[in-house]
């Protein structure tokens, strides 16, 4: 059975009951994500599943998706960007347990009985889905340089007189 996201997640209880949660949450309720993007629009969709694996570890898996407007780092214009994150977490109670996790699983450090805000888990995954350098696709970006406007190749960067700028420095060094 799929339910809406509770305010607080209780991984121990939820995994014993094999609970699933899915739905939408307004992006306006995610202040940290709002600070990291130009503008948030609409809702984030989430689907979370709590279960125990073969070693009886608590596992949280699922997906989160949302749409954000970011600043293109080429042209500094707006670029709509779909955010999508896959959740694959294992609840651990101590850092020593990290060594035994599969490589495709991220640790979630919680004390026994500790609760975590459900919205924070969704927001964390969306923050991790942000690109390092947001930009438009290669076509359609106002910041693309035309081949004619590219600087010349080969060290001849001074276009005033065609002279290599380092040649003038060499003359000054010789005392000329």
| Residue corresponding to tokens 């919680």 | 110
Tens of pLDDT, residue by residue, the chain (176 residues): 467 889 999 999 999 999 999 999 999 999 999 999 998 889 999 999 999 998 899 999 999 999 999 998 888 888 889 999 999 999 998 888 888 898 889 999 988 888 889 999 999 999 999 999 888 876 667 765 554 455 555 555 445 556 787 888 888 888 75
Q: How many CB atoms lie within 10 A of CB 148?
A: 5
- Which residues fall within 8 angstroms of residue 64, CB to CB, at 6 or more apart? 44, 45, 46, 47, 83, 84, 85, 87, 122, 125, 126, 129
Output the DSSP codes for 12-62.
HHHHHTT-EEEEEEEGGG-HHHHHHSSEE-SEEEEEEEEEE-TT--EEEEE
Task: Give the burial class of 90: count Cβ atoms within 10 A of its Cβ; 0-12 exposed, 13-18 middle, 19 or more buried.
Answer: buried
The predicted pLDDT at position 44 comes to 95
The predicted pLDDT at position 1 comes to 46
For the chain, where are the E strands, in sequence order? 2-3, 8-9, 20-26, 39-40, 43-52, 58-71, 78-92, 106-109, 116-117
The predicted pLDDT at position 145 comes to 54
For the CA atoms of 89, 91, 94, 100, the dihedral, rounded to the nearest 10 degrees, stands at: -60
The predicted pLDDT at position 100 comes to 87
- From 120, 122, 126, 116, select the one nearest 14 (Cα to Cα): 116
pTM (2 d.p.): 0.75
Task: Give the burial class of 115: count Cβ atoms within 10 A of its Cβ; 0-12 exposed, 13-18 middle, 19 or more buried.
Answer: middle
């Amino acid at each position: 059975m799929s339910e809406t996201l509770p305010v607080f997640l209780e991984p121990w209880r939820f995994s014993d009951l094999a609970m699933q949660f899915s739905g939408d949450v307004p992006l306006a309720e995610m202040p940290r994500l709002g600070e990291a993007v130009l503008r948030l629009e609409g809702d984030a969709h989430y689907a979370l599943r709590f279960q125990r694996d073969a070693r009886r570890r608590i596992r949280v898996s699922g997906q989160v998706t949302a749409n954000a407007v970011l600043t293109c780092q080429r042209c500094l214009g707006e670029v709509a960007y779909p955010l999508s994150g896959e959740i694959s977490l294992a609840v651990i109670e101590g850092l020593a347990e990290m060594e035994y996790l599969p490589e495709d699983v991220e640790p979630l450090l919680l004390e026994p009985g500790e609760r975590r805000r459900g919205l924070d888990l969704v927001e964390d995954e969306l923050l991790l889905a942000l690109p390092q350098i947001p930009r438009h696709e290669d076509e359609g970006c106002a910041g693309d340089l035309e081949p004619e406007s590219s600087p010349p190749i080969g060290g001849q960067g001074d276009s005033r007189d065609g002279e290599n700028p380092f040649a003038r420095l060499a003359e000054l060094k010789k005392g000329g």
